[in-house]
Amino acid sequence: MIHAAAKVQAAGGVRTLAFDASAPLQLANGEMLAPLTIAFETYGALNAERSNAVLVCHALTTDQFVASPNPVTGRPAWWPRIVGPGRPIDTNRFFVICANVLGGSMGTTGPASLARDGQAYSLRFPPITIADMVRAQSMLVEALGIQSLFLVIGAGMGGMQALHWASAYPKRVFACATIATAARQSAQNIALSELGRQAVMADPDWRGGGYLAHGVRPAKGLTVARMATQVASHSEASVRARLSDAHKRERFSFDAGYSTGSNTSFVERFDANSYLYLSRAMDGFDLAGDFGGRLANAFQGGSTRHCVFAFSSDWRFPPAESRAVARALIAAGADAGFVEIESDNGHDAYLGEEPQFEAALTGFVDSCATARELSLHGGA
């Protein structure tokens, strides 16, 4: 059942839920954002009890097409090893929802969206937080007629959203899986984010944020910002190997392992101002901040089951940060587990082939499904 103030639309392969002015989104800074459009994808079927819904929260540079090709860019699904038939999040069992985040650039209201005057918001778009992203997702989930989510899962920025879901809506989240993330952005990550933002804003084509009105894009600046994100996603061993290779070739260029064509594709599909807004939202995330500085207080009294995953070679979100989350959950009395996966693939290990991670995630999901009394297959 869709809320009366919302309407499902589809254009260019992107499905959206549009909320009219009677259903504004209240932002953390007190502003009301309306109208609001949320782009989303779903996979699998919702059962009769509406108890098998899974919300996948995406990371900084991905989108809602978690298990299917992006119809706009043609990019393949970004998490096909985890979401799909027979996968750890089995779409034969679960109804999977993945929404483009607030401030994003794949259909959800953001800086590139048109304001009421018919012009792109650009830098007139209000500042947003991780909490605002979660409130928008909550509006979507409610509009779809789902009162309680079986599982909320995410990595990186998506993991921050998942943690906020479990803290803000503990009675609406049965289980929560957070992967390669933290409850607070590290100083190192803030510095790298600021480097990327400065690169975007230094590009002459940024035009003070108004590049869309001039028919240009700050492609060079956004490419540098993308490179900073990519470098941080490699393991230390990978970074040293690439630097060594550059030295042998007597070149100053650092090959991050992604082709120029890949970055060209990124700047074409990802709005530069969205990068500014989303990265700032990550930098401002501090879950303990609203709870007297004690992270355990953020989960006090909740009954959500948690599993916290980390990768040994991740220096963007080191295992120590995930262990801190797990300790806080245990201190709050939560049913929580911590799994560190030995991997040489850095932060992005969760996107690739990691049998130990997939097995551990499958075990967590299956145990939670048993506790939820979910059947083997989802209903129609």
Query: Domains of the chain: which residue ranges?
Result: 6-187+286-372, 191-283
Class of CATH domain 6-187+286-372 = alpha beta
User: Which 8-state DSSP code applies to residue 184?
Assistant: B
Q: Which residues of the chain have pLDDT under 70?
A: 1-4, 234-264, 376-380
C-alpha distances in Å from residue 21, one per residue of 34, 36, 127, 226: 5, 8, 19, 35
Instruction: Determine contact, residues 362/339, Cβ cutoff 8 Å.
Output: no
User: Which 8-state DSSP code applies to residue 250?
Assistant: T
Separation between Cα atoms, residue 219 and residue 223, nearest integer Å = 6
Separation between Cα atoms, residue 215 and residue 175, nearest integer Å = 45
Residue range 153-210, pLDDT digits in tens: 999 999 999 999 999 999 999 999 999 999 999 999 999 999 999 999 999 999 999 9
Separation between Cα atoms, residue 348 and residue 297, nearest integer Å = 30
Instruction: Determine contact, residues 368/151, Cβ cutoff 8 Å.
Output: yes
C-alpha distances in Å from residue 304, one per residue of 73, 168, 371: 37, 11, 12
Separation between Cα atoms, residue 38 and residue 114, nearest integer Å = 14
Query: Which two structure tokens, joined as six digits, stand for 155?
Result: 């990595």
Q: Name the residue type at position 260.
A: T
Instruction: Determine contact, residues 323/317, Cβ cutoff 8 Å.
Output: no
Cβ density class 50-75: b for 16+ within 10 Å, e for less: bbbbbbbbbbbbbbbbbbbebeebeb
Rg (CA), the chain: 20
Q: Which of 113, 121, 105, 137 is nearest to 278 (CA)?
A: 105
Q: Name the residue type at position 50.
A: R
Q: Name the residue type at position 259.
A: S
Separation between Cα atoms, residue 159 and residue 134, nearest integer Å = 11
Separation between Cα atoms, residue 36 and residue 57, nearest integer Å = 18
Separation between Cα atoms, residue 80 and residue 124, nearest integer Å = 36
H helix intervals, 126-186: 130-143, 157-168
Separation between Cα atoms, residue 258 and residue 267, nearest integer Å = 13
Instruction: Determine contact, residues 78/98, Cβ cutoff 8 Å.
Output: no
**Per-residue pLDDT, 247:** 57
Separation between Cα atoms, residue 141 and residue 126, nearest integer Å = 23
> CA torsion 68→70→76→82, rounded to 10°?
-40
C-alpha distances in Å from residue 258, one per residue of 116, 125, 229, 264, 342: 39, 31, 12, 10, 24
By three-state DSSP, how is residue 174 classified? strand
Angle subtended at Cα 44 by Cα 43 and Cα 46, rounded to the nearest 5 degrees? 115
What number does CATH give the domain 191-283? 1.10.1740.110
**Per-residue pLDDT, 1:** 53
Residues 6+ apart with CB under 8 A from 380: 45
Helix 219-233 × helix 187-202 angle, to 10°: 160
Separation between Cα atoms, residue 51 and residue 146, nearest integer Å = 8
By three-state DSSP, how is residue 36 classified? strand
